[in-house]
Amino acid sequence: MKKILQDLSLEELETLVLSLGEKKFRASQLYTGLMLGKAISSVNIPAGLRERLLNEYEDLPVKIIKTLKSTDGTQKYLFALADGNVIEGVLMSYKYGNTQCVSTQVGCRMGCKFCASTLGGLVRNLTSGEILSQVLAVNAANGGNLSKRAVTNLVLMGSGEPLDNYQSVITFLKCVSAEGGINISPRNISLSTCGLVPKIYDLADTGLPVNLTISLHQTTDEGRARTMPVAKKYSIAEILKACDYYFNKTGRRYIFEYTLIHGENCEKEHAQGLINLLKGKPCHINLIRLNEVKERSLKALDEKAAYRFLGMLEKGGLSATLRRQIGSDIGGACGQLRADYLK
């Protein structure tokens, strides 16, 4: 596989074109074209420069090869990478804008039992440019440009654990929020992690004010370990301590994702456990009804019971919402489309 030109910042592109004997302004032409989701072969630059770039860099590192549209407006994308691997993403429409769910790895090694991304394990990390190219492709496919984006918000919650690909993700966050590019503010970006504690501290120290989201899903370490192997390494107490550090560093409240799984984590004692853990902390809880994965035995909680659980949390003084279930008719859970494609 060739190198990925989208890995480079504008300043790095300037250094590259100057090294090739071209004038500095060619970097801006090239950068603008790439940020519009164009292939190198489609950018308006001299033929000689284009040829030299194509000798070393992939023409278009991420391509949309399949799109599924839900009755609720959700769109799911299957992307082909230059090495033949595939990843996926989702575009969700809300009143405030369009949120894209972005993948950071091909597969995942975290082993969470409710997630289809882990079924084949981790294949490889994505480069920062491959992560960015997903956003550029979906923005272009939906008629967006750099002045009026079709993608307004991002969540790093597709295939892969973002903090397990830490350096590429940090570079991506800087590139996707850069002026002159697609320029999505870090405050409009959420990073979802299963709780890699040392990397939460590292993320806090970068000063990037992204929304930190933790996949919690249980109220005890023992219960969490049944569906999330990472719980055997990092305790809930360690995660909470890291989250408090993140809040003190960034001033951003943190969010807990809590997937409601029938018979696992949604009884009265679980609600009380969350209240005991989180009351008084600068956090919010997103309750999610499970998108069932056919390769797993876990079952979703019905809507009435989900609202009952939400009511218990609110009565206990917690800030919580029940996320509307979207994309279930097109395999909305992380990794489902990719898993089906690879069969």
Among all residues, which ones are annotated catalytic?
88, 334
Q: How many CA atoms lie within 13 A of 202 on its CB side?
A: 13
Rounded to whole angstroms, how far apart are CA atoms 341 and 343? Answer: 6
Two tokens, residue 309: 């659980």
Rounded to whole angstroms, how far apart are CA atoms 289 and 301? Answer: 6
Which phi-psi region, left, alpha or beta, contains residue 185 (left: φ > 0; alpha: ψ -120 to 50)?
Answer: beta
Helix pair angle (25-35, 10-19), 10° resolution? 130
Residue 45 vs residues 42, 82, 137, 272: alpha-carbon distances, Å: 9, 23, 20, 62
68, 65, 69, 91: which is closest to 80 by C-alpha?
Answer: 65
* Helix or strand (DSSP H, E) at 247: helix 236-250
For residue 118, what are the contacts with CB-CB under 8 A and spacing of at least 6?
A: 107, 108, 109, 110, 111, 112, 335
Residue 156 vs residues 36, 56, 126, 215, 275: alpha-carbon distances, Å: 21, 29, 12, 12, 27
CA angle 118, 119, 121 (to 5 degrees): 60
Tell me which residue has tokens 């989900």. 306
